[in-house]
A and B are shown apart, each in its own frame.
Chain A
């Protein structure tokens, strides 16, 4: 079935370090891909998205490129801040994306130390 696999956490980095969180997916058809972030005590919020192959999503210094050949959507940021500490979820939706059904990865906890 369709699924999303994220790298195991927690990931602990020092401030200003480079961040990569790996995400790979298995899907029939052509999914849309997302990164959501969950700050402590809050609901999830969309960080970025890409709807077709080779699209790059970007927001708040974070980037991810939809790689169809490697079925990946890795999240990167050049210089993390303490305020980026949160849980990050990779997700996909099938078809046109006009649905409220997302398939989420397990989440990766990021802790950034000053």
Chain B
């Protein structure tokens, strides 16, 4: 069974640009969550999607957005990039009803210059 796949793995952007990250969950998983990981703030929850609907949202500005498609694949977008957005963005999927077990991808490492 293929794991969670995130693309791209690495990317470099400049301030003011926007970026789109993609996540393909494990087959059959309908829930996708996104996290930001930084050395200073650790792992912080961004949002969760289930059946194309956002179920939960963390405390991030509106520049951070996401969506989920009918095949459960998800994208997140960050607009007007700031230096502080440099981070590892992790996507995780889970099967419904499974108490808290998330399956994480390897992440997309974003560097903002």
Contacts and interface: CB of A to CB of B under 8 A. Distances in A.
Given A45-B104, A93-B100, A100 B42 contact: no
22 contacts: A34-B100, A34-B101, A36-B102, A42-B106, A43-B90, A43-B107, A44-B43, A44-B90, A44-B104, A46-B103, A51-B99, A91-B100, A98-B96, A99-B100, A100-B55, A100-B102, A101-B33, A101-B56, A102-B45, A104-B43, A104-B44, A107-B42
Given A46-B101, A46-B102, A100 B94 contact: yes
Interface of B: 4, 31-33, 42-45, 48, 50, 55-56, 58, 90, 92, 94, 96-107
A46 B105 CA distance: 12
A9 interface: no
A114 interface: no
Contacts of B99: 32, 49, 51, 93, 96-98
Interface string A25-63: 000000010101000011111100101000000000000
